[in-house]
Structures are given as structure tokens and as C-alpha cells.
A and B are shown apart, each in its own frame.
Chain A
Amino acid sequence: MEIVNKRTLDEIDSVLEFAKLGRDEIKSVTQSIYFSEQLDSEGIKLLELDTAVLTALENGERVIIRGDKEDSAVLCTESETFEVKLGEVSNALLIVPDMTLGSELTDTLLPSIQYQQVNSVMHTFYELRKMKPRLQKLRSLLEENPYAGQAAEGDVDHQGTKYTFNELLNLVQGSEREIKIALEKMQAIVIDGYWRVLDFDFLVQVMSHLLQLCDENSWLDQGIPIQECLSVLQDIFPRTVIEHVLKNFADKITPATGKDDDEKHMQIDIDYYRLNEDKVCRFFAEQILKHARKFNLSQFLSTWEKSVPDGMKTSVSQLEGIALIDRDSNPEVISYMTVDTLPEEISERFNHLFRIREKWSLPEITPYIKDLTTDKMDVTAMLTKSFKNTQYWFSSGNGLGDCFCNLKDFDAIVLI
């Protein structure tokens, strides 16, 4: 675009003279700055680009801004999620597309002029801040219609909405990778193209058939030959479901480099799985706790021990993240509490936890907050930060380790 009434070298020189700026002090090229005739400050938006986002864009990844009326907008690369916030500056940001920086100016022998145009003046920009994806919605979506076996699909209870991966992407504020990880963590499975969680009672049925079969064939010790197991159970449950359950409760046995070569050759074609003791015991604890909610601890422990398959050993450590033990009450009680249902926002999470219980030891609270940690903030850092203002952190010094409690309860705890 042509600039009318172009500035001349004479005009520039006379201003320099007034300003007492010698020609010898400056580079020979002057850039005269104009507002563009098509000055348009609404047509563009400034987006602060995090290095990870720029790299993702350069690699041709899908980058999407997702938002609806309820949630604030987020930007997702294929693997990460960023909060999008509008920032305001009182300064004027003049966008000059072709302006040259001093270091890049080619010196000319005689003074010369370049005409530059400002095409927009900005006072706002969008900031990106890396965040944890908002995945709680994922669980509630999948729980609209849990899978309870092929026969139950037609039931009135199982007509809730089912979601494909693309539909979930449309509804959940998280990147593809984060959503895939979360689906795996909540042990979701694809059935007929839809992501589903298994109905708990249905899972109990699958497990009991599986465990019975293991018992009859002494597979608990020897390992489960997967193909044989599948061929027996596939009359009752879909193969994909059995495989899924095995994957979640058993580990593939890596063939030991045995000394006996003959035996090794015999077994080479068969995949064996061994039930994971911790996972199976945890599952049995969940069965007991889920229905009772609160339980006398010693009664619970003995019931639990009797319920698990022969040869498996229960241990309180297996309950991490699914149950709370209250040792201060008399008798001691245990109650069911999973991290999945807690608020995702840090301060809300703490408020919730401290409503349930007034004080927590570090090992007790860790399973209920560790999902909120980031590379930059571990559990301890998160506690210290959250407790700086309103609450109090102290070392109990009584051998129970560090405790975190509300400041208002401080008097009560000093007496202990």
C-alpha cells in the first residue's frame, strides 16, 4: 500500500537536528513508522506461545482450543493441556510486520528511509498456563452407562448414552494423550466402538468365574495359560472383556531363562499370566467396603483375609487410595473413600479432605492428593503452599510423622 505524503530525508534530518542527535551517532537507515490505512486491531489476536505449544504446532500436531459455557477455555496439544486466560496491558503493543531490528539493518552509504506500517495496536493477549486436564467429567460420562455384559445391553437400566473417543474429546477438557491415560487408569474398555467402564457387580461376576477356573486348574501357582482360559470363559463373557480383566488384575509372565532347555522349548508358544496379589486383594477389599461404607477395622481385616483366594496375603498397604483408617476412634474403623470422587481443584480438594478429617499425617493424605502433583510441585510443596496462609503445618514429634491440620484445631493438638 502506498503511503501518501511520504516523509522525506530533509524532514528526518531537521528533527534530528532539533533533537541534537548527530548523524554519526546513528545507523544510516531510518524507519519511518505509520499507521496502516487498513489499521485493524480487532482482526488479530495475540497468543503467548509456550515452547511446548510452538513445538507441537511446528510438528504438525493437532492443536485445539476447547471451551463451553461452564468451563473456561483450554488449549490442548496432542499430549498437554493449557489454561487460556485473557491478559491485559496498559501499554500499547504496536504490531509492525516488516520492521527491522538494529542488528539486522544493512548499513547504507548514504542516509536512507524505510517506510513501516503498524497494522494493529493491541492491549490484550491470551496467556497459556500448563494445567492438569479436567478429567472428572470423563468418569461421570462413562458412568452414565456402565457395561454389565452383553445380555444386559437391552435392559432399561442400560440405555444411557455411550461415547466414542471423538465424542469424549468433544466433552472433556484434556489432550488426547491425557484422556487415553485417564481411560486406562479408570480401567475403561472399548466395546463396539464405545468407551465403557465395567459395572462393579458385573466385574465381580467375571472375577469369580475367573478365580474359580484358576482354583480348579491350580493356575494360581502355575500361572494362567491365556488362550486356554479365554476358550473356557468365552462362552460366558466376551473375549475382549476377559482379556481386559486379565490385563487389569494379572501380569504377563516373562519366560524365565530356565536351565532346562527342553521345558523352555515346550512353553515358548504359550502366554502365561499371573494374578497380581495386591490388585486382587484390593478388589476384594473394595467389594466389602463398597457396600458397608464404614466398618469396624479388626472385623474388616479378618473378613477380608478370609475372602481372598487361598495363598494370597492381604496387607493394609493394598488399601492405599481406596480406604481411610481412623485409628483415633474406639473401636478403630475403616471407611471407603476413593480419590476419583474428590474435587480436582487443589484448594477445594483440601477443603473437602479437612471436612472429612481434622488432621492428616503425610502418608495418609498422600494417596488423596498425589494425582494433583505436577513436575514443578510435589506433595510436600503443594501442602506447604496451600497451608501458608490459613492453615498450620507442624511436626508432631511424637513418632507419627508430620501432621497437617487446621490452625483452629491447633490448641487441641498441642494437648496430645
Chain B
Amino acid sequence: MVQIHVKLASEKGGYQEWAMIELQGTLETRNPIPFSGRFIGDLHFTHKDVPILIIGHHILYGKVVTLEKPYGILVKDAEVTDRAPGAGQTSYTIRAVIRKKLLFKTRPKPIIANVPKKV
């Protein structure tokens, strides 16, 4: 049987707290180009801490949700190889824990810029 050891990051201060944005649907670009390095959008907060995300020509209002069960971020450890393949034990480290997420589930509102005033 495979046994995978899971442990918490033991570096100074233990694991980190990360955050997460949940978007309804998926992000797509007009052209199939890699996402890496690309700008997504601006995140603002109102004075009442309501998150507002502006992506392209869309504005999204969201809310802060505390996760009932936090997510652990599992990262596979470098295998401790004893040279023999498969002899190394697979293990994972929980680098961070996510306890809160920004959930954007309402329909994005389009931003209409420079609407020409028609007569």
C-alpha cells in the first residue's frame, strides 16, 4: 500500500495564511495565449469591506466568506531518493492554509465607457 506522509510546514512561524478568489465560471482570453504574467483586474474594498473586482469591462461585487473547512495547500516534497527508483517515500507539506475566500458569484455588470450621446 502506498503511504503518503502529510505534515505542516515547520519553518519559522509554521504555515502561512493565504487567500483565495473564487470566480464563477472560468477566465478566458480572446486569443489562446498563456495566462502567465497577465494582468487580471483591480481589487477594491468598500469602507464596509465589500470586495469589488474590476476585470476588463466588467465590475463584480463579491463577499468575504469564511470557509467552514479551511483548505490546506499541499506541495509535494522532493523525493528522498536512495538511488533506487521508487524507494524514496512520497510526502507532502502543507505550506499554507486558506481560511477565507472572496466569492464573486453575482453576474458581472458591464462597464459602458464613453457612451456617445445619441439624439
Q: A30 to B44, Cβ gap below 8 A?
A: yes
Select which of A30, A39, A47, A65 is within 8 A of B72 by beta carbon: A47
Scan residues 18-39 of chain A and give those whose CB is less than 8 A from a CB of chain B: 18-19, 21, 25-27, 29-39
Tell me if B3 is interfacial: C-beta within 8 Å of chain A.
yes
Taking Cβ atoms with an 8 Å cutoff, the residues of B that contact A are 1-8, 16, 18-27, 34-47, 49-54, 59, 64, 69-76, 92, 94-98, 100-102, 105, 111-114
A90 contacts the other chain (Cβ, under 8 Å)?
Answer: yes
State whether the Cβ of A118 lies closer than 8 Å to any Cβ in chain B.
yes
Asked if A397 is at the interface of the complex by the 8 Å CB criterion, the answer is: no
Looking at A50-58, A179-187, A200-208, A258-266, the stretch in contact with chain B turns out to be A50-58
A284 to B92, CA, bound (A): 51
Assess A47 versus B71: contact at CB under 8 Å? Given A37-B37, A99-B19: yes
Q: Is the CB of A15 within 8 A of B37?
A: no
Report whether A35 and B37 are in contact in the complex, using a CB–CB cutoff of 8 Å: yes
Q: Are B36 and A39 in contact (CB under 8 A)?
A: yes
Complex CA–CA separation, A16 to B25 (angstroms): 24
A91, B24: Cβ atoms closer than 8 Å = yes
A321 to B5, CA, bound (A): 38
Count of inter-chain pairs, beta carbons less than 8 A: 196
Q: Are B39 and A170 in contact (CB under 8 A)?
A: no
Sorting the interface of chain A by its residue count into under 10, 10 to 19, 20 to 34 or 35 or more gives 35 or more
Q: Is the CB of A102 within 8 A of B45?
A: yes
Q: In the complex, A170→B7 CA distance in Å?
A: 18
Nearest Cβ on chain B to A107's Cβ, whole angstroms: 9
Question: Which of A's residues lie within 8 Å of B, judged by CB?
Answer: 3-5, 7, 12, 15-16, 18-19, 21, 25-27, 29-39, 43-51, 54, 57-58, 62-68, 71, 75, 90-103, 105, 116, 118, 121, 123, 125, 128, 170-171, 173
**Chain B, Cβ-Cβ closest to A14:** B113
Q: Once bound together, how far apart are the Cα atoms of A74 and B109, in whole Å?
A: 43
Interfacial chain B residues near A15, Cβ < 8 Å: 42, 54, 111
Given contacts A43-B75, A47-B94, 5 further A-B contacts (CB under 8 A): A33-B42, A35-B35, A45-B73, A93-B21, A102-B45
Q: How many angstroms between the C-alpha atoms of A173 and B5 in the bound complex?
A: 14
User: Which residue of A has the minimal Cβ distance to B74?
Assistant: A45
B84 CB to closest chain A CB (Å) equals 18
Which interface residue of B1, B7, B112 has the most chain A CB atoms within 10 A? B1
On whether the beta carbons of A49 and B6 are closer than 8 Å, the reply is: no
The answer to whether A4 touches B19 (Cβ under 8 A) is no
Q: A121 to B46, alpha carbons, bound, how many Å?
A: 26
8 interchain residue pairs of minimum CB distance: A102-B45, A102-B49, A99-B19, A65-B4, A94-B21, A68-B1, A45-B74, A31-B43
6 contacts between A and B (CB under 8 A): A31-B42, A32-B41, A43-B76, A64-B4, A94-B20, A101-B19
Task: Say whether A7 contacts B39, CB under 8 Å.
Answer: yes
By a CB distance below 8 angstroms, the chain B residues around A105 are 45
CB–CB A46/B74 < 8 A: yes
- CB distance A94 to B22 under 8 Å? yes
